[in-house]
Structure 1
Amino acid sequence: MRAVSLVPSLSEAVARTAPGVLVGVTDWCTHPAALDAVRVGGTKNPRVELIASLAPDLVIANEEENRAPDLQALRAAGAEVLVTEVRDVPQAFRELARVLDACGVRARPRWLDEAEETWAALPVPDDRLRAVVPIWRRPWMVLGRDTFAGDVLARLGVTPVHADHPDRYPRVPLEELRECGAELVVLPDEPYRFTADDGPEAFPGLPCALVSGRHLTWYGPSLGEAPRVLGRALRAARR
């Protein structure tokens, strides 16, 4: 089996479970650190000819992270493309199992079982905080409806203020974000790299939780530790 992954979190899942299967990954596939595969460009601008030259049995993609024209070009070049959709935590586990099965993994990996058990054991939050969750600035963009990261936060007791917005990642003027009634701001370090000096200053008077973007937005082995890592950051911001 030879596979190319255009999704960083799925690259990590395949590399951990089926070493040697991945022959190509994106420039953003940073885990595991020693991942040995050809770099085929970005998630939004993969090098189709290079991918085709690797003669993969499968190209792994995602309907949100990858562009439809690129996937169509890969199919036209003769590649089989598996497109995942991940909008919540349960769907992440189903899609992970589907990807690993397509990569020839016959036994369900222990890390996947343990991650699913961790999420299933979480108590239902007895109180919830309303939060603004930016993912970009210049312009400001936030989590809207029907997102994986929004579901992750909801299961940890944080409801994105814009969870009912018509758009999944709406652009919202900063003044509106400041006046939306949020009790918390959640600032991940990807896709935009928010830091203590780049983000919190825009929301004077509101507690800000700086969180790991990998644990908030990736659906792979990081799911197993995401509740602990994110929960610690959220609790620290609320003190």
Structure 2
Amino acid sequence: MRVVSLVPSLTEAVAVTLPGALVGATDWCTHPAGLDVTRVGGTKNPDTDRIIALAPDLVIANEEENRAPDLDALRAAGLEVLVTEVRTLPQAFLELDRVLTASGARTRPRWLDEAQAAWTALPAPAEPVTAVVPVWRRPWMVLGRDTFAGDVLARLGVHHLYAAHPDRYPRVPLDELRAAAPDLVVLPDEPYRFTADDGPEAFPGLPCALVGGRHLTWYGPSLAEAPRVLGEALRPSGRTTGL
């Protein structure tokens, strides 16, 4: 089986489960470390000719990560394209099963069982913490409705204040974000790379939690450790305060 993945988290899932199956991945596919495959461009602008030349048996994509015209071009060239949709944690587990089976896995990998067990074992959240979750600045954009990251946070007891917004990633002025007075500002390191020096200063007086995007937004092997890693980052001891 020859597989090209256009989704970083699914790249990691296939590479860890089926060594040697991947022949191509995007420039943003950073895990596992040292992955040696042909790079086919970005998730939004893949080199479709290069993908076609690799003659894969399967191309793995996602309805949010990848653009329909690119996937249509691959199908027109006779390639099989599997498109995933992941908006919740249960969907993630179902889609991972589907992707790995389609990629040639004959048994369910241990890491997937461990990931599902880690999330199942979570205690019921206490009083929810309110949050805003910026994913970009210039302009400021935040998590809105119907997102995988929002579902992950909700299971950890963090309710983001724009969960009912009509848009999935609304643009919200900074003044409005501050005025919302959340208990917490969650700042991931992707797609925008928020850091201790770039992000918290925009929210003076508000607790900020810097979290890894791989644990917040990726659906792959990182799901096994995500409850612990995110839980530690979201606790008061793991937070910083905007100056």
Query: Which TM-score applies when normalising by structure 1?
Result: 0.99
Q: Deviation per CA, 1:63-85, whole angstroms, max 9, x where unpaired?
A: 00001111111111111100000
1:119 is aligned to 119
Q: Alpha-carbon deviation of 1:196?
A: 0.5
1:85 is aligned to 85
Counterpart code for 2:202? A
1:128 is aligned to 128
Task: Please identify runs of 4+ aligned residues in structure 1 that moved more than 3 A.
Answer: none
2:218 is aligned to 218
2:17 is aligned to 17
SS state of the match for residue 239, structure 2?
A: helix
Q: Alpha-carbon deviation of 1:126?
A: 1.4
The separation in 2 between residues aligned to 1:230 and 1:238, in whole angstroms, is 15
Is 2:63 the partner of 1:63? yes
Q: Is the 8 A contact 2:135 2:141 kept in 1?
A: yes
The separation in 1 between residues aligned to 2:230 and 2:37, in whole angstroms, is 30
Q: Alpha-carbon deviation of 1:34?
A: 1.4
The separation in 2 between residues aligned to 1:63 and 1:211, in whole angstroms, is 24
Q: Deviation per CA, 1:128-173, whole angstroms, max 9, x where unpaired?
A: 1110100000000000000000001000110111000000000001
Q: Deviation per CA, 1:56-101, whole angstroms, max 9, x where unpaired?
A: 0000000000011111111111111000000011110000000000
Q: Which moved more, 1:5-14 or 1:117-126?
A: 117-126
Q: Where does the alignment leave 5 or more consecutive residues of structure 2 unmatched?
A: none
Q: Alpha-carbon deviation of 1:238?
A: 8.5
1:228 is aligned to 228
SS state of the match for residue 196, structure 2?
A: coil
The separation in 2 between residues aligned to 1:183 and 1:111, in whole angstroms, is 33
Q: Alpha-carbon deviation of 1:237?
A: 2.2
Q: Alpha-carbon deviation of 1:215?
A: 0.3
Give the RMSD, CA atoms, in angstroms: 1.0
Once the two structures are superposed, the pairs formed by residues 35-114 of structure 1 within 5 Å of their partners are 35-114=35-114
1:183 is aligned to 183
2:28 is aligned to 28
Is 2:158 the partner of 1:154? no
% same residue = 77
Q: Alpha-carbon deviation of 1:103?
A: 0.5
Q: Where does the alignment leave 5 or more consecutive residues of structure 1 unmatched?
A: none
The separation in 1 between residues aligned to 2:240 and 2:146, in whole angstroms, is 25
1:237 to 220, 224, 239: 239
Q: Is the 8 A contact 2:27 2:42 kept in 1?
A: yes
The separation in 2 between residues aligned to 1:62 and 1:41, in whole angstroms, is 15
Q: Alpha-carbon deviation of 1:124?
A: 1.0
Q: Alpha-carbon deviation of 1:180?
A: 1.1
Q: Deviation per CA, 1:166-195, whole angstroms, max 9, x where unpaired?
A: 000000010110111311100001110000
Q: Deviation per CA, 1:179-232, whole angstroms, max 9, x where unpaired?
A: 113111000011100001100000001000000111000000000000111110
The separation in 1 between residues aligned to 2:240 and 2:45, in whole angstroms, is 39
